[in-house]
Amino acid sequence: MKIAVVGWGYVGAATGLGLKDHHEIIAYDPYKLTALYSMNILRELPAMSELVKIKQVYDISDLREAELIFVCLPTPTTENGVDTSYIDKILDDLNQKLDKGIIVIRSTTPPGTIKKYQEKYPKFQFVHNPEFLRERTPVSDFLNPDRIVIGGTHDDAIKKVMDVYKLFDCQKCVTDTTTSEMIKYASNIFLANKISFFNEIHNVCKVVGADHKKLADVVALDRRIGHYGVNGGKPYGGSCLPKDTDGFIHFVENHLKHELHLIKATKKVNDEMKKHEEGEKRE
Ligand SMILES: NC(=O)c1ccc[n+]([C@@H]2O[C@H](COP(=O)([O-])OP(=O)(O)OC[C@H]3O[C@@H](n4cnc5c(N)ncnc54)[C@H](O)[C@@H]3O)[C@@H](O)[C@H]2O)c1
């Protein structure tokens, strides 16, 4: 299948490189892929020569030939909430140049965003296919997911995306787009929440003189709990957990006017851990 990938950061590069052996990939990014490679974003790629298998285009009209257009653009959280302007802009550009197409948004977007895009651009068929990779191992995480989430309402578009992933040995979960958007936030915020929970336990261990390391090892043996996030003593970081926790709080409280309790506490514990960590570094 001819697949266009818009945005060659962590998610776009992992998607393009992960699919290149079975599909024809067209890359669209203002930066040359070779430049991104030397910036180390594509660091999991075994050799730069692999990039020659990928055709890069700079004119949006060239995406017309793609059967699917995967959009992997940033959605940063700012003081005004989640900024979807990168996606808004590319959709306006695609709308001007293309008469139809299947647009697969891989970015993390606030619940309801894709539904609004579908209403605004009825000539396109939208699918939401959130990504769950880690930045340390983008390509191998993309190729070995725990599950693949496909949100959409057009059966033929969903089927095409299913086809792309037919060789992936994991459960494929089909939902509507608002549910797939919520699944992405719920997954990231749960991980943030778990880290904050064990940071709080870590702090109490220090007060009572308990061995937190031992506690973490033993608690993790419960298969319902597992090893992720139990070690304590460090705030959650990276580019996604803080961004998505903050973005979700902003969206739910300011946009939906719905009060959150636990998720705000997750952020509060993390902010205190960060202050503590910075204080320790200064000493
Ligand atoms: N980084 C992660 O670990 C991760 C994991 C899962 C989901 N996500 C989500 O995926 C989305 C993308 O994140 P990322 O980390 O891959 O972003 P990134 O910042 O690494 O990369 C974005 C890429 O988009 C390109 N770009 C910017 N404007 C463009 C335009 N108009 N046309 C074409 N390309 C353009 C940039 O040059 C860059 O290469 C975000 O919504 C993020 O929340 C990220």
Whichever domain contains 62, its CATH number is 3.40.50.720
Same domain, 156 and 191: no
CA separation (Å) from 117 to 123, 138, 173, 178? Answer: 11, 27, 22, 12
Ligand 1 touching residue 30 (CB < 6 A): yes
Ligand 1 touching residue 12 (CB < 6 A): yes
Q: Where among 156, 175, 194 does a domain terminate? A: 175
Q: For residues 160 and 207, what is the distance between their CA atoms, to the nearest angstrom?
A: 56
Same domain, 108 and 6: yes
Same domain, 50 and 190: no
How many residues appear in the chain? 283
71 CA to centre of ligand 1 in angstroms: 9
Q: Which residue range forms the structural domain that includes residue 33?
A: 2-175
Among 138, 146, 111, 199, smallest CA distance to 16 is for 138
Bridge partners (DSSP) listed for residue 279: none
| Ligand 1 mutation pick, 6, 8, 11, 180, max ligand atoms within 8 A of CB | 11
CB within 8 A of 73, min separation 6: which ones? 6, 7, 86, 87, 90, 107
Q: For residues 267 and 172, what is the distance between their CA atoms, to the nearest angstrom?
A: 31
Catalytic residue among 72, 173, 205, 240: 240
Q: For residues 50 and 38, what is the distance between their CA atoms, to the nearest angstrom?
A: 13
Same domain, 72 and 129: yes
Ligand 1 touching residue 73 (CB < 6 A): yes
Ligand 1 touching residue 63 (CB < 6 A): no
Same domain, 230 and 162: no
Ligand 1 touching residue 109 (CB < 6 A): no
Nearest CA to ligand 1 atom 35: 7
DSSP one-letter string for 45-109: SS-GGGGGGSEEE--GGGGGG-SEEEE-----EETTEE--HHHHHHHHHHHHH-S-EEEEE-S--
Q: Are 87 and 109 spatial neighbours (Cβ–Cβ below 8 Å)?
A: yes
Phi/psi at 52 (5° precision) = -65, -20
Ligand 1 touching residue 139 (CB < 6 A): no
Dihedral in degrees, nearest 10, Cα atoms 271, 277, 282, 283? 130
Q: What is the structure's pLDDT at 121?
A: 98
Same domain, 168 and 42: yes
Q: For residues 139 and 275, what is the distance between their CA atoms, to the nearest angstrom?
A: 33
Q: What is the structure's pLDDT at 166?
A: 96
37 CA to centre of ligand 1 in angstroms: 15
Same domain, 133 and 205: no
Q: For residues 157 and 233, what is the distance between their CA atoms, to the nearest angstrom?
A: 45
Phi/psi at 124 (5° precision) = -100, 155
Q: Where among 119, 148, 175 does a domain terminate? A: 175
Place of tokens 């578009």: 157
Q: Where among 158, 175, 192 does a domain terminate? A: 175
Q: For residues 172 and 159, what is the distance between their CA atoms, to the nearest angstrom?
A: 11
Same domain, 115 and 44: yes
108 CA to centre of ligand 1 in angstroms: 10
Ligand 1 touching residue 15 (CB < 6 A): no
Q: What is the structure's pLDDT at 50?
A: 73
What CATH number did the domain enclosing 195 receive?
1.10.1040.10
Same domain, 26 and 119: yes
The conformation of residue 222, written as its DSSP 8-state character, comes to: S
Same domain, 162 and 245: no
Q: What is the reported pTM? A: 0.95
Same domain, 28 and 134: yes
173 is catalytic: no
The domain total for the chain is: 2
Q: What is the structure's pLDDT at 44?
A: 66
Q: 113-120 and 177-208 are packed helices; what angle lies between their axes, rounded to 10 degrees? A: 160
Same domain, 171 and 36: yes
13 CA to centre of ligand 1 in angstroms: 9
Per-residue pLDDT of the chain (283 residues; tens, 9 = 90+): 999 999 999 999 999 989 999 999 999 999 988 887 777 666 666 566 677 778 999 999 999 999 999 999 999 999 999 999 999 999 999 999 999 999 999 999 999 999 999 999 999 999 999 999 998 888 899 999 999 999 999 999 999 999 999 999 999 999 999 999 999 999 999 999 999 999 999 999 999 999 999 999 999 999 999 999 999 999 999 989 999 999 999 999 999 999 999 999 999 999 999 998 888 877 7
